[in-house]
Chain A
Amino acid sequence: MTLPQGTGPLAGVNVLDLSWIVAGPTVGRAMADYGATVIRVESPTRIDTARVVGPFHADEPGVENSGLYGNVNAGKWGLTLDLRVPEAQSIFRRLAVWADIVCESFTAGVLARWQLDYAHLRELKPELIMLSSTLLGQNGPYNQVSGFGSQGAGMAGIQDLAGWPDRAPAGPFGPYTDYPAPRFALTALLAALDHRNRTGEGVFIDQAQAESSMQLLAPALIDYKNGGPALQRRGNDDPQMYPHGVFPCLVPEGREESWVAIAVASDEQWTRLAEWLDADASLSLDQRRQQQPEIEAALSHWTSSRSAAEVEETLQAAGIASHRLATTEDAANDPQLAHRNHFRRLPHSLHGETVVEGPRYILSETPIDPARPAPQYGEHNELILRDVLGLSDSEIGELAASGALS
Chain B
Amino acid sequence: MLSPYRVIDLTDERGVLAGQMLADLGADVIQVEPLAGSTGRSIAPFFADRPDQSIYWAAYTRGKSGITCDLSDPRGRDLLLRLLESADFLIESSDVGVMAELGLDYETLRDRFPRLIYTSISAFGQTGPKAHYVGSDLAIWAAGTPLLMSGDDDRAPVRISQPQAWGHASGDAAGGSMLALHARHQTGRGQHVDVSAQVSAAQATLAQVLAYQLGAADPERYGGGVKIRGQAIRGTADVADGYIVLLMGPGPAVGHFANHAVKWLVDIGAAEPELLDEDLVTYADRVAAGKADPALFPRIQDIMRAAVATRTKQEMLDISIEYDLLLAPVLDIVDLGDSPQLDHRGFWQEIEHADGRRVTYPGPPLNILVDGQQQGICRRPPPELGQHNDEIYGELGLSPAEIDRLRSEGAI
Of A206, A235, A360, which contacts B200 at CB under 8 A? A360
- Known A159-B224, A222-B362, A240-B44; judge A365-B187 contact (CB<8 A): yes
- Known A47-B252, A184-B21; judge A171-B151 contact (CB<8 A): yes
In this assembly, does B37 line the interface, its C-beta being within 8 Å of a C-beta of chain A? no
Residue count of chain A within 8 Å CB distance of chain B: 164
> A212 vs B347: C-alpha distance in the bound complex, in angstroms?
11
Closest residue of B by beta carbon distance from A340: B125
Chain B contacts with A in 175-216, Cβ cutoff 8 A:
175-176, 178-183, 185-187, 189, 191-196, 198-200, 202-216
Closest-CB distance, B366 to chain A (whole angstroms): 5
In this assembly, does B49 line the interface, its C-beta being within 8 Å of a C-beta of chain A? yes
A203 touches B369 (CB 8 A): yes
A226 touches B317 (CB 8 A): no
Of B148, B180, B216, which contacts A259 at CB under 8 A? B148
- Say what secondary structure dominates the interface of chain A: mixed
> A143 vs B344: C-alpha distance in the bound complex, in angstroms?
10
Of A187, A195, A244, A363, which contacts B193 at CB under 8 A? A363
B331 touches A190 (CB 8 A): no
- Known A162-B159, A247-B156; judge A218-B326 contact (CB<8 A): no
> A139 vs B216: C-alpha distance in the bound complex, in angstroms?
40
- In the complex, which residues of chain A have a beta carbon less than 8 angstroms from the beta carbon of B341? 136-137, 140-143
- In the complex, which residues of chain A have a beta carbon less than 8 angstroms from the beta carbon of B335? 157
B1 touches A191 (CB 8 A): yes
- Known A136-B341, A362-B193; judge A228-B211 contact (CB<8 A): no
Q: Which of B132-140, B270-278, B389-397, B403-411 contacts A (4 or more CB under 8 A)?
A: B132-140
- Known A224-B334, A230-B333, A261-B142; judge A326-B183 contact (CB<8 A): no
Which residue among B135, B200, B320, B331 has the maximum number of chain A CB atoms within 10 Å of its CB?
B331
B369 touches A204 (CB 8 A): yes
Chain B contacts with A in 219-273, Cβ cutoff 8 A:
219, 221, 223-224, 226, 228-229, 235-236, 238, 242-245, 247, 251-254
Q: Which of A50-58, A85-93, A377-385, A386-394 contacts B (4 or more CB under 8 A)?
A: A50-58
In this assembly, does A121 line the interface, its C-beta being within 8 Å of a C-beta of chain B? no
> A174 vs B359: C-alpha distance in the bound complex, in angstroms?
33
- In the complex, which residues of chain B have a beta carbon less than 8 angstroms from the beta carbon of A190? 175, 178-179, 181-182
In this assembly, does B367 line the interface, its C-beta being within 8 Å of a C-beta of chain A? yes
Closest-CB distance, B39 to chain A (whole angstroms): 11
B137 touches A263 (CB 8 A): yes
- In the complex, which residues of chain B have a beta carbon less than 8 angstroms from the beta carbon of A219? 43-45, 55-56, 59, 162
Closest-CB distance, A243 to chain B (whole angstroms): 11
B209 touches A47 (CB 8 A): no
- Say what secondary structure dominates the interface of chain B: mixed
A170 touches B224 (CB 8 A): yes
- Known A59-B216, A180-B168, A206-B367; judge A173-B204 contact (CB<8 A): yes
Interface residues on B, range: 35 or more
In this assembly, does B303 line the interface, its C-beta being within 8 Å of a C-beta of chain A? no
In this assembly, does A175 line the interface, its C-beta being within 8 Å of a C-beta of chain B? yes
B366 touches A207 (CB 8 A): yes
In this assembly, does B340 line the interface, its C-beta being within 8 Å of a C-beta of chain A? yes
B329 touches A155 (CB 8 A): yes
Of A184, A231, A355, A365, which contacts B189 at CB under 8 A? A365
A218 touches B161 (CB 8 A): no
Chain A contacts with B in 353-382, Cβ cutoff 8 A:
354-357, 359-366
> A58 vs B217: C-alpha distance in the bound complex, in angstroms?
9
- Known A67-B214, A179-B168, A331-B212; judge A157-B371 contact (CB<8 A): no
A161 touches B194 (CB 8 A): no
B224 touches A321 (CB 8 A): no
- Known A168-B238, A218-B362, A222-B360; judge A195-B342 contact (CB<8 A): no
Of B4, B247, B332, which contacts A230 at CB under 8 A? B332
> A34 vs B193: C-alpha distance in the bound complex, in angstroms?
14
Closest-CB distance, B201 to chain A (whole angstroms): 9
A323 touches B369 (CB 8 A): no
12 A-B pairs with C-beta separation under 8 A: A151-B328, A157-B333, A161-B333, A184-B171, A194-B182, A217-B333, A221-B337, A230-B334, A248-B156, A323-B143, A337-B199, A363-B179
> What are the 7 closest A-B residue pairs judged by CB atoms, nearest first?
A183-B171, A361-B176, A339-B128, A151-B328, A171-B150, A55-B216, A190-B178
